[in-house]
Amino acid sequence: MVRGSFPGFDVLTSSTRLSLAGAGLLQTSAISSMINPSIYDKKFFSLSIIRYPASITSQSAGLVLPLRKGYGHFSINNISYGIFQGYNIDAESTGTYDSNDTRLISSYSQGLTLLPINIGLSLSYFNSNYERYNFNIISFAFGCHINLEKHKALIGLSAHQIGLSYGNAGINMHPKVALSTSKRLQYLPSSIYIDIINSRLKTEIFTGIITDINKKIKLFIGSSTMKRKHDLKNNLLRSLLGASGIGFSYTDNSFSVHYGLFFYGTGSLNNGIELSIKI
């Protein structure tokens, strides 16, 4: 059995989070693969497609609906790595094969009766296929957040990627803990998001800001401490843009559309589009 760490859990599946460079765990999203599960509210349906370098494509769909005294959430995501030509040890063609990941997430969030606190739990099933290698991951995430309504701020704590893997390519799970905050600024038409995410291997800080250009158009900007890893020190512009995101959204009545970009220090980029509909 092959065993190693797996970065597929950290792939961004929402173009909104893409333009915030990974920040925004306390921003409601029906399709984000990593979010504080206590934040789900309202009723809406979302679709997103993101194109990564090397023809890698992520497609997602998600739904949030009222359920009992809270909100239920379900999403599906597929990441296609493309079609490849297979060979045996004698360099003879064995035909083509495709590699892909599929992830299903189901969540529930609910507010406490006597306190301005929401709690949430999510269950995730992840299946990955790489030619003859196949593995599955079942994981949990749980979180809570407090609503400081007077200060127009949220503070949240969440734990992610708690689970196990099985199959012929075992994976070492590295659970993460996130401390998150969001705040609507008093003198600017903007909301800021800060997420401190810690795992056994590292701690990263993600920051993002969403600014209302007018009643219908918003500007998204984000960056993180991962910029250090993206800085190849061979081009000033690439060093400045590395590990950063930018995007715009347009909202009109019951729907919104968002387009986002994420820049790598190498000069390549991801781009994605997301559609959300209130139901």
90: confidence class by pLDDT, cuts 50, 70, 90: low
Output the pLDDT for position 84. 60
Output the pLDDT for position 1. 43
Report the alpha-carbon distance of residue 174 to residue 209 in Å, rounded. Answer: 28
Output the pLDDT for position 170. 66
pTM for this prediction = 0.89
The two three-digit tokens of residue 192, written as one number: 């800021």
Mean pLDDT of the chain: 88
Mean pLDDT along residues 124-131: 86
Report the alpha-carbon distance of residue 261 to residue 269 in Å, rounded. Answer: 7
Q: Using the predicted structure, report yes or no on whether residue 105 has a pLDDT greater than 90.
A: yes
